[in-house]
Amino acid sequence: MKRLACVVSYDGTNFSGYQVQPNKRTVQLELEQALKKVHKGQQTHVVASGRTDAGVHAKGQVIHFDSPYHIPEAQWPKALNACLPDDIRITHAKYVSTDFHARYHTSGKEYRYRVLKSEQVDVFRRNLVTHIPYSLNVEEMRVAAQLLVGTHDFSAFCAANTNVVDKVRTLYAVEIKEYGDELHFILRGNGFLYNMVRIIVGTLLEVGNKKRSVNSVRMALEKCEREYAGKTAPGHGLYLWAVQYDEQ
């Protein structure tokens, strides 16, 4: 058996998230069904770098699986894409050591969040961006974003029902870039808590809309309570952009 790591892109609009769920269409289910076809009926388990929620997209999700086949690396994307629906694509494949683990060996991740600034919803982007019809003070948001860079207890910026005990994470960058009528929030860190990116974005949007002050972000970090941060931004604006590994 050989182990392969693959980079996967998907449009999360019509998925109930990544992980297999009973009677739900999920990314993992589609991947495992495609591998079952390639492996002529043999069930293959797929492991991902992490789960994504319903409606969340990925440009650079990473998975691994084991295969008895000795197909050239360049042929794996073609073989799998032929068995996958159009809203999932394998973009790269690489043979890795048999002890490689897509989830446990990650050294960092990058997420991006797209916001559309316009009076009306763009019908063609409605599932790919979060629409904000009001004006935003982007400079104030950038000041608040810099408070989040570094190593902090992000308890205020994760879902209240998470069972993770250690909520200390390091953010290497929190950037806000303007591309035409869109704002892109770019977050890079060594790891992310459940809903962490969406809560950070929701909080920064409240700063931009003058619903909260820059100092309130500092207070949220100090208090470590969910109630001190902003609302959770919708899932459909979020993208798992890239996953890093030490050996890459």
Distances (CA, A) of 90 to 9, 19, 35, 237: 6, 17, 12, 21
Q: Which position among 11, 53, 87, 153 bears the catalytic label?
A: 53
**Phi and psi at residue 157, in whole multiples of 5°?**
-115, 30
Distance CA 219, CA 235 (A): 25
The DSSP output letter for 231 is: P
Token pair belonging to 19: 């992980």
The DSSP output letter for 101 is: -
Catalytic site includes residue 99: no
Q: Give Cα 58 to chain centroid, integer Å.
A: 6
Q: Give Cα 195 to chain centroid, integer Å.
A: 10
Return the CA Rg of the chain.
Answer: 19
The DSSP output letter for 200 is: H
Q: Is 172 annotated as a binding residue?
A: no
CB contact at 8 A, 113 and 203: no
Q: List residues with catalytic annotation.
A: 53
Known binding residues = 111
Task: Please give the annotated binding residues for substrate, written as ranges.
Answer: 111
